Amino acid sequence: DSGVTQTPKHLITATGQRVTLRCSPRSGDLSVYWYQQSLDQGLQFLIQYYNGEERAKGNILERFSAQQFPDLHSELNLSSLELGDSALYFCASSPGTTRETQYFGPGTRLLVL
Amino acid sequence: AQTVTQSQPEMSVQEAETVTLSCTYDTSESDYYLFWYKQPPSRQMILVIRQEAYKQQNATENRFSVNFQKAAKSFSLKISDSQLGDAAMYFCAYRSGSNTGTASKLTFGTGTRLQVTL
């Protein structure tokens, strides 16, 4: 158990819908990272938050957004969902922004029908 | 941009034997970190081992060790005394040592699926 929690574990929804994925980092970690794992794109970095502020943005679609709250949990919002958004979404956390290892949560498996 | 290449989509090893998974990477940086993550059928991403580029000594964690060749930009994972529980997808990952932009992100290879047979 990495100490990173993600809910829900599974999500099934329809095209055009909006969903919210939630992540709680390890105790004491200030950085949260979101990654997407899909069959065609592999594991890709989406976005990073550090202590409530957006720190870095990767290959995140405009339909997707994220935030980190004062209690340091983070939410990834996916809207206008398409079939191609079906993937495993991971959250990872680390204490800061440099040099530390990122520890991953169990992931949320999203299926868009 | 940094790239990570895992050229072996699948590998197989017999229980108790040793197997080596290959990884090469491309970077112009001198300060970086390399990782191996394991993804079993549960899909959880589990850290196996970490290597700092500035350290010449190869990292070791119990039955897992790496062969880090900085000049060749090679980072292979050796699993000794393989066990059934080692069966998983293994991902090599790169992280910059910089603290700017998207440097904190992990860049992953495409993975190697390891089968362990009796």
Q: Give A69-95 pLDDT, tens digit per residue.
A: 999 999 999 999 999 999 999 999 999
Predicted pLDDT of residue A71: 95
Please report the beta strands in A1-113, taking only residues with DSSP state E, as ranges in sequence order. Answer: 5-7, 10-13, 19-24, 31-38, 42-50, 53-57, 64-68, 74-78, 87-94, 103-104, 108-112
| Residue A34 pLDDT grade (very low, low, confident, very high; cuts 50, 70, 90) | very high
Q: What end-to-end distance do the CA atoms of chain A give, in Å? A: 31
What token pair was written down for A51?
Answer: 């202590």
Residue A29's CB is within 10 A of a number of other CB atoms, namely 20
| Residue A16 pLDDT grade (very low, low, confident, very high; cuts 50, 70, 90) | very high
Predicted pLDDT of residue A7: 97
| Residue B98 pLDDT grade (very low, low, confident, very high; cuts 50, 70, 90) | confident
Predicted pLDDT of residue A98: 74
Residues in A touching B91 (Cβ below 8 Å) = 43
Neighbouring residues of A83: CB distance < 8 A, sequence distance ≥ 6: A15, A112, A113
Determine the residue of chain A that is closest to B111 in CA distance. Answer: A42
CB A86 within 8 A of CB A10: no
The CA distance from A70 to B24, in Å, is 39
Residues in A touching B90 (Cβ below 8 Å) = none
Average pLDDT, chain A: 94
User: Cis omega before residue B40 (within 30°)?
Assistant: no
Determine the residue of chain A that is closest to B96 in CA distance. Answer: A99
If phi > 0 it is left, if psi is from -120 to 50 it is alpha, else beta; for residue A85 that is: alpha
The CA distance from B52 to B91, in Å, is 17
The CA distance from B34 to B29, in Å, is 12
Predicted pLDDT of residue A40: 83
Look at residue A33 and tell me whether its pLDDT is greater than 80. Answer: yes
Number of CB pairs, chain A paired with chain B, less than 8 A apart: 60
Mean pLDDT throughout A37-62?
Answer: 92
B56-84 pLDDT tens trace = 899 999 999 999 999 999 999 999 999 99
Residue type, A52: G
Residues in A touching B110 (Cβ below 8 Å) = 42
- Tell whether the torsion through CA atoms of B113, A2, B64 and B36 is positive or negative: positive
Predicted pLDDT of residue A20: 98
Look at residue A1 and tell me whether its pLDDT is greater than 90. Answer: no
* Contact (CB<8Å) B106/A31: no
Q: What end-to-end distance do the CA atoms of chain B give, in Å? A: 41
The CA distance from A51 to B90, in Å, is 31
